[in-house]
Structure 1
């Protein structure tokens, strides 16, 4: 018996846990193989060149792959998509990582940016005061020798 997605279903229920696990794994692999074939066919159409819907096909495949992914997966997919479309893959990967990040991570990144912006003038003043002091002390020590 074959289901609508081409996966072969067991005619009788499995009698063991191993058989049930095997059926689940086979079904999952069948679904993944069907999706990969679909994406491959779409990318073949894009590679053929004559399609006017080229960016749409790449975007559709990228959206399918990135759907529900974490920051790393989003970054990778969006970087590859930008590379295929001829735009900057680094910036697209950064935007993809941001899109795939959770809210607490986004809040932490914004908070860190604010802290850096607030502290950078203070650190600059400390650096400008410390460097001349270190130079004067090192010169006075070398003069004593």
Structure 2
């Protein structure tokens, strides 16, 4: 098994502009993925996302890499809080959006596992944990977007 990349494709019944906002802005991100998010959705912005509440929450550093509405949003995450995100200390998540019929095809990709320098057991565990996490959170996107749609 290759532990280098996680990829998924999801069709969302909404325009790319709507989907872009949902995957790029902290207010929307916190509705389907972390419990809270704090960053500006512009390249170079450094912030954090938090899973869980209060003192029990896990704070994870978050750095926006690219934001090209309504096509691409990418960020690096899980790097040490006292260090800037690099290829060797963080994972890269990219959302690529393209129109498809009346909606959007979202291509998700997370890379950078092998670049971390982890021992194979740690690499395998981290990869599996992320697969499990994304398999839980990504299916929440389309139902959340559907709550935003204005119907005549």
TM-score (norm 1): 0.24
The structure carrying a bigger strand percent of its residues is 2
The one of the two structures with greater contact order (alpha-carbon pairs below 8 A, sep at least 6) is 2
Q: Say which one has the larger Rg.
A: 1
The structure carrying a bigger helix percent of its residues is 1
